[in-house]
Amino acid sequence: MLSKSIFLGLLVIVFAYLYTKWKECLAENQEESIILFWNSSIREPTDQFSHIAVGINCNLDLIVSGVALLSSLEKGRGQPLDSVALESIDDLANTFTYYFSKGSAAERTFKSKEIYAAIIETAEKLEEKEHYIGGNAALMAVNIAELFPNKKIQLIGPIGPVLKKLLPHNVLVPDDSLIDKDEVHLIMEYGLHEAWQGLESPVANRFITSYDESNSRLTMLNKFFKDLGPFSPNLVLVSGLHLLETQSLTYMSDKLEEFKTGLQNIPQSIPVHLELASMADEGAVKLIIDEVISQVSSLGLNEQELTFSSYVANGPHSSYYHSRNGQPEIYKISDMVLWLLKTYGYSSKNPRSRLTRVHFHSLTYHIIGSLPDAWLNSESAVGAGTRMAGRQACKVDRLSPPDIELRIPQSFQLFSGSDAVTFNESKPVVSWKREGFQFVFSPVLVCINPLKTVGLGDAISATGLMYSQFDPSYKQ
């Protein structure tokens, strides 16, 4: 009896081992199938953008470990409390703790120039640190310059001497865009399952903070629109509006009016993309939603920005902003993208709107919703964006297991009320139509040990745009 029990026990162990290996092999086969699909199906559009104007926020990033910095500041784990703006090191510790526990990217500004300068001084003394190109605009320009070196790219923003040296040679920077001293932003990164005083991060991500006078006041806004004429772009990418959050609503409103006037002077045949970033002030976000997004052709945003927009503007699943934890549910995101397009986008009921495209990106998947008459090649665009996410996070030219993994559920709803679909790795890009809009979905092959998380959204949006084709005749 004993020998039989031992035999059965060994048999169970062997089967468990073989099952584990089978699961690992299956996972690797899934990921390889997705990579093969991307490589064989992603196509550049027949009519590409050739002159790309990019602005407005540019800065120098100082990248450090968030946990290491707080330890050097003699601050441990704070209370998980979010702050709209940071006034002390305690606020920094609390807000970092809040987003570390959620695994969500966020960006907050400091009110005190002196406290922020002291934090930067401490960060510069850390053994492991990196200086890098920062600011959504600069990162989008660099991404396009590296992927498409033959394109003409103009970058407008507050560009200091260190940042200027880091930019690729094929990014044109007019003289009136140069400033004497770099604006430094602090990037506090954390890894997947990083342990910190009883907490564990569910994903690798980053928390960004800054004290930035040039970008927060959009001092380059007039110069950006002034320099568009001589450059003659056929694609315009704009970012940085989120930094106005630190200003009064009156100042922000005035700047947004200035922004809208500049946009209205851009011909309808030239698409304008607005890249959003993390914000916490409800009034500021509502102002951007009501006044700005219908003035742009395309919108890029992540789960924090999309769910918060739905929350402040009474969109679908508005309570999801507070209840969401970890990977955002696909059908809820799809519903919110549709809501943006229907409520603020171009239609016969809203013919003055330019908005015809929304590119949502998260750690594990992307969705592009668009008016199919205005935007072509969207399947390749979403595939190229998701492929870029893994490549940039791992800092590799080619993705391959075991460095990456698929993290989406094997079965999910595409939108509220739809039947669940089973994910098919041989056809990972899924397309469907809702109320006249086309939606395309692609999973991300998530980098298991990412080397850099900052700038992923900007690289994703820029890549997706460069693989998209715009047809200005959609209004005819």
By annotation, the residues acting in catalysis are 458
Q: Alpha-carbon distance 80 to 97, whole Å?
A: 5
Query: Of 295, 299, 300, which Cα lies nearest the Cα of 354?
Result: 295
Output DSSP code: residue 183. Answer: P
SS (H, E, C) the chain: CHHHHHHHHHHHHHHHHHHHHHHHHHHHHHHHHHHHHHHHHCCCCCCCCCEEEEEECCEEEEEEEHHHHHHHCCCCCCCCCCCCEECCHHHHHHHHHHHHHHCCCEEEEECCHHHHHHHHHHHHCCCCCEEEEECHHHHHHHHHHHHCCCCEEEECCCECHHHHHHCCCCEECCHHHECCCCCEEEEEEECCCCEECCEECCCCEEEEEECCHHHHCCCCHHHHHHCHHHHCCCEEEEECHHHHHHCCHHHHHHHHHHHHHHHHCCCCCCCEEEECCCCCCHHHHHHHHHHCHHHCCEEEECHHHHHHHHHHCCCCCCCHHHHCCCCCCHHHHHHHHHHHHHHHCCECCECCCCCCEEEEECCCEEEEEECCCCEECHHHHHHHHHHHHHHHHHCCCCCCCCCEEECCCCEEECCCCCCEEECCCCCCCEEEEECCEEEEEEECEEECCCCCCCCHHHHHHHHHHHCCEECHHHHC
Helix (H, G, I), strand (E, B) or coil at 135: coil
Contact 348, 329 (CB under 8 A): no
Q: E-strand spans in 130-198?
A: 130-134, 152-155, 171-172, 184-190, 195-196
